[in-house]
Structure 1
Amino acid sequence: MATLCRPAIAVPDHVITMEDTLRLARTHHADHPQLGLVLRLISNTGVRTRHLIQPIEQTLQHPGFETRNLLYEREAKRLVPPVIESALEHAGVGVRDIDLIVYVSCTGFMMPSLTAWIINEMGFRAETRQLPIAQLGCAAGGAAINRAHDFCLAYPEANALIVACEFCSLCYQPTDLGVGSLLSNGLFGDGVAAAVVRGRGGTGVALERNGSHLVPDTEDWISYAVRNTGFHFQLDKRVPTTMKMLAPALRALSEQHRWNVSRLDFQIVHAGGPRILDDLCTFLEVDPEMFRYSRATLTERGNIASCVVFDALERLFADGGVPDAARGLIAGFGPGITAEMVLGRWVASPEASPDAAPRAARPRLDHVAHGRRAEEQAGVG
């Protein structure tokens, strides 16, 4: 059974507080006709601090889409490798044990994907499969887990590495003065995350069932307008109501698995804003304490897009986890409107897993085994 191991997280050094954000809003938009509303909305996010890849003075400048994208590439190459190394260590595997890399990001663009650079730079095997996901936004964290789960179901001996890299501050557009855009300026933060899904063994969340749900006719509620100046984030005022439509999908997936979503032991969900968490408490009939890790991520780091579910999950690990075999849900929400959901049980130690036999004792994928034999014959690895 595939197991999602402990994630690794990194955030940039530059910090902006809510007080800083409110001050900047008052200074830069003093004449905005809805400034009072914007200030209230930002205050209600509960985001106390966010991390940015540049000092705020540089973040507020717009040197052009090309310069920003070059900054995205440079900072991704700086921050991603140490996070990958930590995630591999958490999972007890090495670079040559990875069969698939899923890379998710919606805040910069590279082709070839950063996956190619990761494979070359960090010593992953040339046979490592690549799956870049660029257009699922905040839901991509859940989608990455689900695609890694699917891969390990197809290839039970395989391991998948997930990497999420989000520099939301690079999407700041000084000319976008709509209430939704100004709200996003006080909500989103930057971060990088990585996690391994092991086909056999490992500790963490043993994945059992995953699913997706698209709310019909909501594709323009969260979107990008791609213009000469880059990605312009567009947020419909109806977005805060989406949990009324997505909560039934979470409940339905649990019922398919013969679980009651209201009685799970842990839930890690995307924290796009406090309204999402408050509404889930109501619609899923759970105590607010259930979402304490997602809320902590929102409070301390803001909405870090696809990284949120990994940051919240890492907080669960850091808090000592939950009892062995505890049942839980992980879910990401994003453009579409889309939910990516997975159910699983907590595995407290490798010995507790029925698939705990060491990977080395099991046959590898045919193409992987052939590659390893060729390396051994050549005296490599």
Structure 2
Amino acid sequence: MGMDHKPLEKSYSHRFVEPRIVSVGTATPPTGYTQMEVLDHYRITDQGIRSVFLNSHIDQRFLSLPLREAGERPSVESQSELLAKHRVEGVRLAAEALHRCLAPINAAPSDVDLLCCVTSTGWLTPGLSALLVRDVGMRPDCGRLDVVGMGCNAGLNGLNPVTNWARANPGGLAVMICVEVCSAAYVFDGEMRSAVVNSLFGDGAAAVAVRCSDNDTVPAVTGYARHIITSAMDAMRYDWDERHGKFSFFLDPDVPYVVGAHAERVVDALLSRAALGRSDIAHWIVHPGGKKVIDAVRVNLELTHHDLRHTTEVLRSYGNVSSSSFLFAYQNLVDEGAARPGDRAVMMTMGPGSTIESALLTW
């Protein structure tokens, strides 16, 4: 049963209230694949490409792959088929993540006052937010925001206006859903450029609920900082590939080093505004952009492997789930149960632009 819908003018006690992450939920396709299984599925024999897959530090990814006949490669999916996959799987994954997010706070879709949907793996008009309002029982007067095309950093780009809305509408419930059907953006052409992308990304969705609360067992979002590395604007792209007649990703091999070289600047700006240092941070939630990205961030921020255990675990178990990845890592932190009142955490995502986004959480 969902909660009765509360009016936005709900009054609070004298205790200070802030926008807080009150719940999170994740979802993946039903089928997981090891890297070897993906190679076998597409009958990839090139030893260089196989090496990229098998040395990715990824044990499993959840994917929506086309069926194949025994002994044959899967049929090549057209751009229209890939867009249809994004629409169908995106709505399904988003709805599942939404329900898993709302259940712990005894809320129903009809209780949501603002819905923000984030994606970069397909194009839809109307967007995912409108489709979800229709399909999962949300109120037709629910506020909506679609963040499209910002890439792996986009989750924090979306969380910023969501927390600002919650602050301006005390009593309101805001939900952000990051949903990425990365298998709807694959191009299997036997080239190393495509192999790097195809070896890394997985499908999944993550929903996060935000509302004003004085409950210090869940974290308040107390600050943001960001930096766009304009000199590396083309290092991460999702653009049209004329050869294949479809969109495809491009990742420059220098991305990890670009991100690592600028990580300190963003984190120090975030913490200085709160008069904090890195030693004040108990938890680190970093986007699992790949093993080299994680290592570059760890080295440049002088963190330990233990500090980034949640990030590394997401990469190992799900791959890079684009904009939803950092919320999978945050779910790991929640499940661990290690956060205590007074703790602080840094969230950091990175993506096209090249962009680094960060947020400060305080319990």
Question: Structure 1 length as normaliser, TM-score?
Answer: 0.83
Could you say which residue in structure 1 is the equivalent of 2:63?
Answer: 52
Identical pairs, percent: 25
SS at match of 2:126: coil
Asked if 1:17 is matched to 2:34, the reply is: yes
Q: Which amino acid aligns with 1:320?
A: G
SS at match of 1:252: helix
Equivalenced residues, count:
339
CA shift digits 1:104-141 (9 cap, x unpaired): 11111210111112112223222222111111111112
CA shift digits 1:212-251 (9 cap, x unpaired): 2111221100001224632210111211112112332112
Could you say which residue in structure 1 is the equivalent of 2:333?
Answer: 316
* Distance in structure 2 (CA, Å) of the matches to 1:5 and 1:60: 42
* Distance in structure 2 (CA, Å) of the matches to 1:4 and 1:97: 16
Offset at residue 316 of structure 1 (A): 0.9
Asked if 1:260 is matched to 2:273, the reply is: no
* Distance in structure 2 (CA, Å) of the matches to 1:29 and 1:233: 22
Q: 8 Å contact 1:91–1:198 — kept in the other structure?
A: no
Deviates more, 1:108-117 or 1:295-304: 108-117
Could you say which residue in structure 2 is the equivalent of 1:232?
Answer: 248
Q: 8 Å contact 1:215–1:246 — kept in the other structure?
A: no
Distance 1:216 1:262, change over 3 A: farther
Asked if 1:8 is matched to 2:25, the reply is: yes
* Distance in structure 1 (CA, Å) of the matches to 2:179 and 2:127: 12
Could you say which residue in structure 1 is the equivalent of 2:351?
Answer: 334
SS at match of 1:7: strand
Q: 8 Å contact 2:188–2:194 — kept in the other structure?
A: no
SS at match of 2:23: coil
Could you say which residue in structure 2 is the equivalent of 1:119?
Answer: 133
* Distance in structure 2 (CA, Å) of the matches to 1:39 and 1:121: 40
Deviates more, 1:92-101 or 1:143-152: 92-101
Q: 8 Å contact 1:262–1:286 — kept in the other structure?
A: no
Could you say which residue in structure 2 is the equivalent of 1:172?
Answer: 186
Offset at residue 24 of structure 1 (A): 6.4
Q: 8 Å contact 1:105–1:164 — kept in the other structure?
A: yes
Q: Which amino acid aligns with 1:253?
A: L
Within the candidate set 301, 318, 321, 1:304 is matched to: 321
Ranges in structure 2 where 5+ consecutive residues have no aligned partner = 1-17
Deviates more, 1:71-80 or 1:128-137: 71-80
* Distance in structure 1 (CA, Å) of the matches to 2:309 and 2:111: 34
SS at match of 2:308: helix
Could you say which residue in structure 1 is the equivalent of 2:90?
Answer: 76
Q: 8 Å contact 1:16–1:56 — kept in the other structure?
A: no
Q: Which amino acid aligns with 1:5?
A: V
Deviates more, 1:336-345 or 1:94-103: 94-103
* Distance in structure 1 (CA, Å) of the matches to 2:355 and 2:170: 28
Q: 8 Å contact 1:14–1:55 — kept in the other structure?
A: no
Offset at residue 281 of structure 1 (A): 1.9
Structure with a larger share of its residues in helix: 1
Ranges in structure 1 where 5+ consecutive residues have no aligned partner = 347-381
SS at match of 1:103: strand
Distance 1:127 1:180, change over 3 A: same
Offset at residue 180 of structure 1 (A): 3.2
Asked if 1:134 is matched to 2:148, the reply is: yes
* Distance in structure 2 (CA, Å) of the matches to 1:330 and 1:107: 22
Aligned pairs (5 A) from 1:326-365? 326-346=343-363
Q: Which amino acid aligns with 2:360?
A: L
* Distance in structure 2 (CA, Å) of the matches to 1:310 and 1:107: 17
Could you say which residue in structure 1 is the equivalent of 2:11?
Answer: none
CA shift digits 1:302-332 (9 cap, x unpaired): 0010111111111111111311221111111
Offset at residue 94 of structure 1 (A): 3.2
* Distance in structure 1 (CA, Å) of the matches to 2:84 and 2:247: 14
SS at match of 2:307: helix
Aligned pairs (5 A) from 1:163-242? 163-175=177-189, 177=191, 179-201=192-214, 203-227=217-241, 229-241=245-257, 242=259
Aligned pairs (5 A) from 1:31-110? 35-36=47-48, 38-54=49-65, 57=68, 60-110=74-124
SS at match of 1:5: strand
Q: Which amino acid aligns with 1:194?
A: A
Question: Structure 2 length as normaliser, TM-score?
Answer: 0.87
Offset at residue 56 of structure 1 (A): 6.4
